[in-house]
C-alpha cells in the first residue's frame, strides 16, 4: 500500500525521491530518481550502500535520525561515480512509516544535486546581476534625458525672457513716441501699434512664468491682455466683461489669439461708443471636447454698419487664416465677431502637462 501511495504522489515530481528502510533497503523510486541515480529501479531493490559512497554507519545513523521526525531532516550523501567525478546530494529525509513489530521504519528521501543547485544559483545570480546592470543603465539614461530636458526648458525660458524684454523695450519706445507726438491722429496710431506689441509681451511673460513652455493658460493671457488694453484707452464709460474658463492653449495659437483680441477690443473701444456713450464689451472663449476653441467678442454699441473698416479687421482676417479658423461677424444692434479654430498643439500640450 505504501508503494502505491508513493508512486501516486511522487511520479510527476521532478525532484528525485526514494522510499528507503532504515536498514538501507530501497523500496521504490520515482522516475526522476531513476534518471539521476544510476542503478536505482522504480520498483526498488538493492541497497542504498550500492549507490552511496559514504560509510555505512554514517548512512545508517542519518536514516535512524530521519525515522524520528516527520518534519524533514537535512543531510548529504556522496554518490558513487565509476565513470566520472563524485557527486554530492543534499537530502531531506522524514519518516513515512514508523517501525513496528520488528519491521524497520520507512524513510522518504528527497534528493537534490548540490552541484546542479549551485550552478542554477550561479545562473540565477548572473541573471539578476545582468538585470540590475540593465536597470542601472536605464536609470542613468533616464537621468540624462531628464537633465537634458530640464536644460532645454531653462534655455527656452531664457529665450522667452529675452524676447519679452526686447518687446518691452519696443513698447516703451512707442510710449515715448506717443508722449512726444503732437498730432492726435498719429498718437492713436502709435497707441494701436504699442498695444500690438504689448499683446506679444503678455504672451512671452506668461510663457516665462508658466509650468510648461509649450502651453499657457488662456484665461490668464486674456485677463492680462484685456485689462491692459482697457487701461490704455482710459474709457470709464465702457465696461469690460471677461468670460474665459481655465483653458490650456498652445504657444502656436497664443500669439495670434492675443493679437486678434487686441484688434477686436481696440476696434470696439474706438468705434462702438461715440460721444462718450456708455456700454459694455464682452470677451468669451469657449473650449469644446474636440479641441476647438470659440472666441466671441461683442459689444452693445452703435453697430458694425456705422463702424469703418480699417487695418484692424484686415489684420484679424489674416490672423484667422493663420489659425486656420472660421471668422464670422454680425450685429445691429451692437457688433459681434466670432472666431472658431482648432488649436492643433493644444492636445499635445495638455498631455505633456498631465505627464508632469
Please give the full DSSP string across 34-93, using - where no structure is assigned.
HHHSTT--TT--SBGGGTB-S-HHHHHHHHHHHTT-SS-EEEEEEE--TTS--EEEEEEE
Q: Are strands 215-217 and 26-29 parallel, antiparallel or unpaired?
A: unpaired
Query: Closest Cα partner for 17 from 78, 71, 67, 89?
Result: 89
Residue 202: CB atoms within 10 A of its CB come to 28
**Structural domains of the chain in order of their starting residue, each with its CATH number:** 2-113 (3.30.450.20), 215-355 (3.30.565.10)
Label residues 11-22 b or e (16+ Cβ within 10 Å = b): eeeeebbbbbbb
DSSP state at residue 275: G
pLDDT in tens, the chain (356 residues): 344 467 777 777 888 888 889 888 888 888 888 877 777 888 888 888 778 888 888 888 888 888 888 888 888 888 765 555 557 778 888 898 888 888 899 988 888 775 555 556 667 778 888 888 889 888 888 888 888 877 777 776 677 677 777 777 887 887 788 888 888 888 877 877 787 777 777 777 776 665 665 678 888 888 888 888 888 777 788 999 999 998 888 878 888 888 898 889 888 888 888 888 899 999 999 988 777 899 999 998 887 655 555 667 788 888 899 888 999 988 777 889 999 998 876 654 444 444 44
Cα(318)–Cα(315) distance, integer angstroms: 5
Please give the full DSSP string across 10-29, using - where no structure is assigned.
HTT-SS-EEEEETTSBEEEE
Query: Closest Cα partner for 113 from 247, 16, 251?
Result: 16
Amino acid at each position: 500500500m505504501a508503494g502505491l501511495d508513493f508512486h501516486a504522489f511522487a511520479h510527476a515530481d521532478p525532484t528525485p525521491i526514494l522510499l528507503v528502510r532504515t536498514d538501507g533497503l530501497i523500496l521504490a523510486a520515482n522516475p526522476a530518481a531513476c534518471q539521476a541515480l544510476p542503478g536505482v529501479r522504480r520498483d526498488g531493490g538493492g541497497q542504498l550502500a550500492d549507490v552511496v559512497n559514504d560509510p555505512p554507519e554514517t548512512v545508517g545513523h542519518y536514516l535512524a535520525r530521519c525515522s524520528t521526525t516527520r518534519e524533514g531532516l537535512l543531510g548529504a550523501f556522496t554518490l558513487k561515480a565509476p565513470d566520472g567525478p563524485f557527486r554530492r546530494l543534499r537530502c531531506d529525509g522524514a519518516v513515512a512509516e514508523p517501525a513496528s513489530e520488528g519491521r524497520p521504519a520507512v524513510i522518504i528521501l528527497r534528493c537534490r544535486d548540490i552541484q546542479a543547485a549551485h550552478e542554477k544559483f550561479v545562473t540565477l545570480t548572473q541573471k539578476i546581476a545582468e538585470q540590475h546592470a540593465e536597470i542601472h543603465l536605464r536609470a542613468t539614461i533616464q537621468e540624462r534625458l531628464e537633465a537634458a530636458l530640464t536644460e532645454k526648458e531653462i534655455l527656452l525660458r531664457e529665450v522667452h525672457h529675452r524676447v519679452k524684454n526686447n518687446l518691452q523695450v519696443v513698447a516703451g519706445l512707442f510710449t515715448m513716441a506717443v508722449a512726444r507726438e503732437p498730432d492726435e491722429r498719429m498718437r492713436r496710431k502709435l497707441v494701436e501699434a504699442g498695444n500690438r506689441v504689448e499683446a506679444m509681451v503678455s504672451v512671452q511673460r506668461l510663457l516665462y512664468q508658466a509650468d510648461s513652455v509649450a502651453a499657457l493658460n488662456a484665461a490668464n493671457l486674456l485677463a492680462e491682455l484685456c485689462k491692459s488694453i482697457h487701461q490704455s484707452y482710459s474709457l470709464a464709460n465702457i465696461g469690460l466683461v471677461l468670460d474665459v474658463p481655465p483653458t490650456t492653449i498652445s504657444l502656436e495659437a497664443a500669439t495670434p489669439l492675443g493679437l486678434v483680441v487686441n484688434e477686436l477690443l481696440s476696434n470696439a473701444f474706438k468705434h462702438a461708443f461715440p460721444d462718450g456713450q456708455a456700454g459694455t464689451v464682452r470677451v468669451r472663449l469657449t473650449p469644446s471636447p474636440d479641441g476647438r476653441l470659440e472666441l466671441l467678442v461683442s459689444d452693445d454699441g452703435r453697430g458694425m454698419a456705422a463702424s469703418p473698416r480699417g487695418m484692424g479687421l484686415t489684420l484679424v482676417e489674416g490672423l484667422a487664416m493663420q489659425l486656420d479658423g472660421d471668422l464670422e461677424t454680425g450685429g445691429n444692434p451692437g457688433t459681434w465677431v466670432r472666431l472658431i479654430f482648432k488649436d492643433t498643439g493644444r492636445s499635445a500640450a495638455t498631455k505633456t502637462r498631465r505627464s508632469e
